[in-house]
Amino acid sequence: MKKTPLILFIFHFITILPIHAQNTPTSNDLVRYSDFGAVGDGQTDDMEAIVAAHVFANLHNLPVKADDGATYYIGGKDRTAVIRTDTDFGTAAFIIDDRDVQNRSAPVFLVSSSLEPFKIEGLTSLKRNQEKINVSLPGPCLITVVNSNIKHYIRYGPNQDSGSSQIDIFVVDKNGQVDRQAPIIWDFEQITDITALPIDEDTLTITGGRFTTIANQAESKYTYYSRNISIKRSNVVVDGLEHRIAGEGDHGAPYGGFINISDCSYVTVKNTILTGHKTYRTIGSAGTSVSMGTYDISVSRALNVSFVNCSQTNDINDGRYWGIMGSNYCKNLVYDHCTLSRFDAHKGVANATIKNSTMGHMGINAIGSGVLTVENTTIRGRNLVNLRSDYGSTWQGEFIIRDCIFVPKNGEPTSASLIGGSYSGQHDFGYTCYMPEKITIENLLIDDSNHPEDYQGPAIFANFNSKMTKNSYQEKYPYIKTREVILRNVTTKSGKDLRLSDNPFMFRDVEVDGD
């Protein structure tokens, strides 16, 4: 294949020496891409050789090692390499060309289990926090439950929709005992589908690799590209991977996450460098112009997923790039020692922890349940925590915030509020909406030194409903508001005191326990 100027640029940037292909595997205990004909010169499409190497490795349960110094060009063919053994990408580079693809939904690498999912018979209902299900299983399993007759997450706003089927995902042991750290969070009066996926007990490790995506040039609409590393196996560690993006222009389709984790548990991504995608606009479902979410990290229907010592190549406070992470239907998500532009839970997270980290311009956005813990972290978004209004600004549980620094809107003049969101009480989201029952904030510094002239000081709560200013306002779908706020050593750079809200009437029953 003839090199284009862009590929020449990337090839020069990576600065590698080509590796000559071999015809057959050279070792009984290691598989290399060159064993199956990969050239690694940055211009020959090596995808067929990469696929073949992993087929052989999976068949013989052998680890895979990329050739040091190689650059593998991956064109637009509809091919996926299935990873079921330890894989070391090492110092090799991979150029993924998305300018002309046969199947935008096909991952480049799929990390999967050899264990097969199966249906569970005989269960007709479940209760929130139920501790055991009456089944006998071959071993620990990931259980996915659906009731298609109930709709949740009926989205409000420019991207409005009719909701999604009620779903829950949890881990049980061979006797059906539910892992209490990731409890059942919904009552299921009826079950229309229930699936068990056995959990691999050994850890699969993926290390190294310098990946560059040449961005698609498609029309700017919701046709998500998933030419990525898709992880659908439990007990996986990704260590030392890098992903960059080249060739973004004035339009393009969004991305569904270069690291895409789904239908699994116990996954750790560490020492990894990723890249935020440029934000493009389209017309949303309500007929108005919207910015399209586009991600380098996506987590869906996954439990116990941690990102440790991860960062991104572009400025976490550059508004031209969308927040790097999005998630749906997850439990026990963790950021630890991360510097990233956003943490986001769309369709609910049960328990989340952000610690020893820095959050950029899109901050911490979440709806869900359980405990949201934020500690030893700097947040540079509009709010300390934003409860997503398009899904009802709901959190059924509590917030614990300790030893943090809040720089509202990255230091731009703004009237700061700690807990953001909005709720009119007139839209049915498919569930009762809650504010955190209890919010504990200890040792928080609010850097509001750059503020508007009429600034009254930071508020605990944003004005969630500007129309709710007296008792005559009726919520068709009542909001269950915060019961208690505990404040210990909250200070401001402006010297102004923390106040309740621009709408004190709405939060008049909140008990605030200050220093």
Tens place of pLDDT for every residue, the chain, 515 residues? 444 445 444 444 443 333 333 445 545 699 999 999 999 999 999 999 999 999 999 999 999 999 999 999 999 999 999 999 999 999 999 999 999 999 999 999 999 999 999 999 999 999 999 999 999 899 999 999 999 999 999 999 999 999 999 999 999 999 999 999 999 999 999 999 999 999 999 999 999 999 999 999 999 999 999 999 999 999 999 999 999 999 999 999 999 999 999 999 999 999 999 999 999 999 999 899 999 999 999 999 999 999 999 999 999 999 999 999 999 999 999 999 999 999 999 999 999 999 999 999 999 999 999 999 999 999 999 999 999 999 999 999 999 999 999 999 999 999 999 999 999 999 999 999 999 999 999 999 999 998 888 899 999 999 999 999 999 999 999 999 999 999 999 999 999 999 999 999 999 999 999 98
Q: pLDDT tens digits for 233-263?
A: 999 999 999 999 999 999 999 999 999 999 9
460 and 483 together in one domain? yes
Instruction: Note whether 33 and 132 are same-domain residues.
Output: no
Q: CA-CA distance, 360 to 320, in Å (whole number)?
A: 12
What is the DSSP code string of 31-99? EEGGGGT---EEEEE-HHHHHHHHHHHHHHT--EEPPTT-EEEE-S-S--EEE-S-EEEEEEEEEEE-S
351 lies in the same domain as 500 = yes
Instruction: Provide the residue type at 156 as one letter.
Output: Y
- Name the residue range of residue 16's domain: 1-114+208-215+224-280
Shared domain check, 133 and 4: no
CA distance 273 to 252: 23
Encode 224-245 in three state secondary structure.
CECCCEEEECCCEEEECCEEEE
Nearest C-alpha neighbor of 225 from the set 97, 327, 347: 97
- Identify the pLDDT of residue 25: 54
Which of these three, 280, 299, 319, is where a domain ends?
280
Give a yes or no: residue 321 inside a domain. no
Residue matched to tokens 């950021």: 335
248: in domain: yes
Task: Tell whether 91 and 143 lie within a shared domain.
Answer: no
Distances (CA, A) of 362 to 251, 256, 468: 21, 18, 27
Is residue 472 in a domain?
yes
Same domain, 141 and 108: no
pLDDT digit string (tens) for 62-73?
Answer: 999 999 999 999
Please give the share of the chain, as a percent, with pLDDT higher than 90.
Answer: 92
Per-position DSSP letters for 471-510, written without gaps between them:
TT---SS-EE---EEEEEEEEESS-PPPEEES-TTTTTT-
What's the distance, CA 32 to chain centroid?
Answer: 32
Give the pLDDT of residue 13: 43
Neighbours of 275 (CB within 10 A): 21
Count of structural domains within the chain: 3
Q: Please name the residues in contact with 132: beta carbons below 8 A apart, sequence gap of 6 or more.
A: 172, 175, 176, 177, 178
- Return the structure tokens found at 426: 């007139």
Identify whether the C-beta of residue 63 lies closer than 8 Å to the C-beta of residue 87: yes
Query: Which domain-ending residue is among 258, 280, 302?
Result: 280
* CB 74, CB 106: distance < 8 Å: no
Identify the residue whose tokens are 């909140």.
510
pLDDT at 15: 38
State how far the Cα of 397 lies from the Cα of 394, in Å rounded to an integer.
9
pLDDT of 14 reads 44
Asked if the structure places residue 89 within a domain, the reply is yes
Phi-psi region of 380 (alpha: psi -120 to 50; beta: other; left: phi over 0): alpha
Domain co-membership, 98 together with 127: no
* Structure tokens given for 71: 């650059």
Residue 390 within any structural domain of the chain: yes
State whether 233 and 181 are in the same domain: no
Global pTM? 0.94
In a domain, 298, yes or no: no
Residues 181 and 48 reside in one and the same domain:
no
- Within-domain flag for 17: yes
Q: Whose CA is closest to 66, among 34, 39, 95? A: 34
> Are both 252 and 353 inside the same structural domain?
no
Domain closes at, from 259, 280, 301: 280
User: 66 and 33, same structural domain?
Assistant: yes
CA distances from 513 to 442, 493, 496 (A): 12, 21, 18
Beta strands in 356-437 (DSSP E): 358-366, 368-375, 378-379, 383-387, 395-406, 417-420, 433-434
Q: Is residue 105 part of a domain?
A: yes
* Residues 59 and 135 reside in one and the same domain: no
Contact 378, 358 (CB under 8 A): yes
